[in-house]
Chains A and B, each alone.
Chain A
Amino acid sequence: MPGLQGGMSARRRYTDLGMRGLCWLAMLAVVIPLCSLLVYVIMQGTKRFDFDFFRNLPRPVGIPGAGMANGIVGTLELVICGSLFGVPTGVMAGVYLSEYGGKGKRFAQVVRFLADVLSGVPSIVTGIFAYEIVVRPMQGFSALAGGFALGTMMIPVVTRATEEMMNLVPGGLREASLALGVPKWKTTLMVVLRTAQSGIATGVLLALARVAGETAPLLFTSFNNQFWPSSPMQPTASLTVQIFNYAISPYEEWHDQAWTGAFVLLIMVLLVSLASRLVFSRSKQTIF
């Protein structure tokens, strides 16, 4: 039996240890930039973080008390505008895929494939699309155009999330409802969709968090605005575009404000992500 015990050569043992060590090092290599990013956003972002930032409009360099109130409200407005058409479309498409799009259905397979493909469309391309479809015919930048771009980006994400969550609902629930004589559409809406609702809410929230941080599709759809827009048909400021414009400006003061904006944006996005996690952990309890 000595062969079994001393069989492993030193080279094999060291390769094993070395490669596993490298894998752990890779983990560390990711933690460092993430920590650096968080530390900088928090340190630089809280320097100018005050009530004025949420209350006031942007001001020229040198005038104290500037804020990004219109950008914060604008981002919310754009996201709401986008989800108004992105969420229903995505949810219904997901319902179709899970309830009517069995394996054999060619059309459902195409939709599924395109949902994956569409979620890979570069956001700047979506911006050009929204520009040509909304901005050009309406002859002006508007919150509507920005919302359209964001909604377009949400559809494939929400579709896949909805399908996944509906598929988690046990078939027995559907059968029980159908056996009671409830028609399929009512079963789908009242039983399946209801059971899956918090899971779907998780997917929707994640999609919201993702598009809230988008800049590229807004650059030439909702554009920017130093003041409060009077209607959704006007150019509208957003937190992200404001951060970008201030970051590439030559002024130290605006750089500071860009960091503060980034801090606020990051907190908004992380809060929504966190909320989605909470909703999801609750949904697990209801389904299983």
Chain B
Amino acid sequence: MSTEVQEAINMEGSAAAEPSMFLDRHSGRGDRMFHGVAMGFASALPILAVAILVVLGIASALCMKSMGWGFLVSQEWDPVKENFGAAAFAYGTILSSFLALLIAGPLGIAIALTITEFAPIKFRSAAAFLVEMLAAVPSVIYGLWGMFVLAPLMRVYVNPILVKCIGKPFFDGAGTGLCMLTAGVVVAIMILPTVMAICREVFDSVPVALRESALALGATRWESTTLSVLAPSKAGIVGALILGMGRALGETMAVTMVIGNRALISPNLLGPSDSLASAIANQFTEATSSMHLSALAELGFLLFFITMALNMAARLLVWATATRMGGS
């Protein structure tokens, strides 16, 4: 296009060509420089991503060399004998995140539906504001609340009921309230805004005509919602859930404060447990040997890998649904 214009200008004669060349010569250099500088800053992101990967790899090399793949399956964590295994921590991380998702998933979807489909317009921004507030609260404050408010509540009211009604093996012994279940509940509250916000985005991208056509065919509000909103959003919802899971896996402070910090693999949700992130938070400053530090770094590496894989999968899913909706 621009070359055509330039040719046209050239054909007009040299007098008209002069100013455009003048502009090109002088602004070209500035533009190229600015482009370069901006690109340099933009490349900070790939550099950072690679650097995190490399640095974590180097930091955990010592432990990788001595423990090998056994690190992933061994439950033993003995800094004195320098024998390290991540299995118990990985179990705690995955189970607590799964519990959180089990609670936050349906809640997040339901709230997103309420906001996009059922609530009166006036109510919507207030509800969105409320959920944003949840997202703004720092995780250490959730931890504080979990420790001093939620955990005692769970110990006195909720746990005895669970023990009585369901019992072993999942709910055994009254415990202190600082347990896997409490961690799951606290993390659920924390990832709710993520799940909800993305679900809302996905639901909003469904064309209004789809809802209207379902209603016109005699569907109830709920039927039109399941048929024309939930059904086409499936992949997007899965993406939202995975992203929520990703946040839950990396959650550190609140979990550290309520999970009880004892690395055990046990089906009992009312017993203490530990997670990858809280092991790092608790032990990193106290680690004396370089082997211990390296083992903790490898825990971080493991956590990084799990969350990255999940995040990438989720982003691709959300993108795929969004582009498909946009295309139709």
Contacts and interface: CB of A to CB of B under 8 A. Distances in A.
Interface string A15-32: 110011011111101110
Contact of A125 (B52, B118, B315): B52
A266 B37 CA distance: 38
B304 A125 contact: yes
B281 A219 contact: yes
Interface stretch (A46-54, A56-64, A194-202, A240-248): A240-248
Nearest to B59: A132
B110 A120 contact: no
Contact of B52 (A36, A129, A186): A129
B243 A120 contact: yes
Contact of A213 (B41, B55, B139): B139
Given A99-B38, A100-B39, A248-B257, A115 B45 contact: yes
B48 A155 contact: yes
B55 A133 contact: yes
Interface residues of A, number: 92
B307 to A, nearest CB: 6
A30 B134 contact: yes
Contact of A8 (B52, B107, B220): B220
Interface in A68-101: 88-89, 92-93, 95-97, 99-101
A22 B110 CA distance: 8
A165 B196 CA distance: 23
B308 A244 contact: no
Interface string B295-315: 011001001100110011001
Contacts of A181: 23
A189 B42 CA distance: 16
B222 A19 contact: yes
Nearest to A159: B45
Nearest to A217: B252
Given A120-B307, A255-B148, A132 B140 contact: no
Contacts of B31: 183-185
Interface string B278-322: 001100110000000000110010011001100110010000000
Given A33-B189, A124-B300, A133-B55, A15 B222 contact: yes
A136 to B, nearest CB: 9
A262 interface: yes
Contact of A30 (B26, B45, B56, B131): B131
B139 A215 contact: yes
Contact of A26 (B30, B107, B144, B243): B107
A125 B149 contact: no
Interface string B134-149: 1011111111110111
Interface of chain B: mostly helix, strand, loop or mixed: helix
Contact of A216 (B38, B48, B253): B253
A216 to B, nearest CB: 4
A120 B144 CA distance: 24
A247 B143 contact: yes
A186 B30 contact: yes
Interface stretch (A105-113, A168-176, A226-234): A105-113
Contacts of B222: 15-16, 19-20
Interface string B64-76: 0000000000000
Contacts of B106: 26
B114 interface: yes
A111 B45 contact: yes
Contacts of A100: 35, 38-39
A10 to B, nearest CB: 12
Contacts of A113: 315
Given A36-B149, A110-B46, 15 more contacts: A8-B220, A15-B222, A19-B222, A20-B222, A26-B114, A100-B39, A117-B311, A118-B45, A124-B277, A159-B45, A189-B34, A213-B141, A215-B253, A216-B277, A262-B144
28 contacts: A12-B220, A15-B222, A25-B110, A27-B110, A34-B130, A37-B142, A89-B41, A92-B38, A93-B41, A117-B49, A117-B315, A120-B247, A120-B307, A120-B311, A124-B252, A124-B277, A125-B300, A132-B56, A184-B34, A213-B138, A213-B140, A215-B253, A216-B281, A219-B281, A243-B141, A247-B147, A247-B148, A247-B257
